[in-house]
Amino acid sequence: MRFDFQTFLPRSFDGRPFGPEDLTALEDEAGIERFVVMPETTERPDNAGLAGRIQGRPRMIGCASVNPALGAEAVKGFEEAAHRFGFRGLRLSPLTHGYPIDGEVARPLLERAREMGAPVTTESCSEGCWPSQIARVAGRFPEVTIIADVGFRPLAPPVSLGLAPPPEGRIADVAREHPNVYIGMTALAMAETYLIKRIVGAVSTDKLIFGSNAPSGIPLFSVGGLRRAGLGEQAEGAILGETLRRIYGL
C-alpha cells in the first residue's frame, strides 16, 4: 500500500476551486492508495469544514490541525476532531503559528495526543521547531509518535557529509536517537534523488516516511524521485507506506 502522510485540502488552489476529487486525482496519478489530509494552516484551522469535505471518502484520513496559542479551545478542537469526526492524528505548526514546540503552550496538546495514541506531525528544522527542540519533546513524551516534516531540503538532512552538527541539532540524529521520531520527506522532486541517498546513509529507511504535500507538491514527481534512488523493494515499501500504515494502525 502506498500511503501519503501529508496532504492538504484548500478551497482553492492556483486560482481555481479545489476539492476532494482534485486531490484524489493527484494521488491516483502516483498510485497512492490512502492519504492523510489536513486543513489549511490558518490561525484557526477549519477541522470541521475538512471533516465535511472528506466524509464518505475512506481513502482520506483526517488529521486535526490546531493552534496551541488558543489554549483550551485548541485542545477542545483536537478532541472534537478525533471523537466526533474520526480524525487519526494531530498536526502542529510551530513556525507558522509562532510558538516553541517544546514550550508549555504545546504541552496540553501533546499530553492529549499521548492519552489518545495519536501520532503528531510537526514542522521542523525551523524557528520554534529546531531538531534540538523536537528531541526534547520526544524525550518528554516517548509514547507519542512524532513525524518531523522536513520539507526534505539540504537544511534538514546533510548528516552524511562528515560536518559538525549545527547548534540547533540535526533531525536525522534525533530520529536515530529517539525511537518515536520519524522523518517526513515532503514535496520531493524528481531531480532530488541525491538527497535521499544522503540521508539513507545516516538513518535506516524504516525511519523515513513519504509525503507529497499535495496540492503544493506533486505526488507523481515525489514518488518518481524516491524510486529513482534505487533503494530496493523492501526500503521503498517501508518509505512509501508500510511504516506509516503501522503508525496509523491501519
pLDDT on residue 196: 80
Is the model's pLDDT at 159 over the cut of 60? no
Give the H/E segment covering residue 26. Answer: helix 20-30
Bond into 108 cis (ω within 30): no
The second-level CATH assignment, the architecture, of 3-247 is Alpha-Beta Barrel (3.20)
Domain ranges of the chain: 3-247
- When pLDDT is averaged across residues 116-124 and rounded to a whole number, the result is 97
Burial call 202-215: b when 16+ CB within 10 Å, e when fewer: bbebebbbbbbbbb
Percent of the chain whose pLDDT exceeds 90? 77
For 5-16, what is each residue's pLDDT tens digit?
Answer: 999 999 999 999
Specify the DSSP class assigned to residue 165: P
Percent of the chain whose pLDDT exceeds 70? 92
C-alpha cell at 229: 534512488
pLDDT band at 155 (very low <50, low <70, confident <90, very high): very low
CA proximity to 244, closest of 208, 214, 212: 208
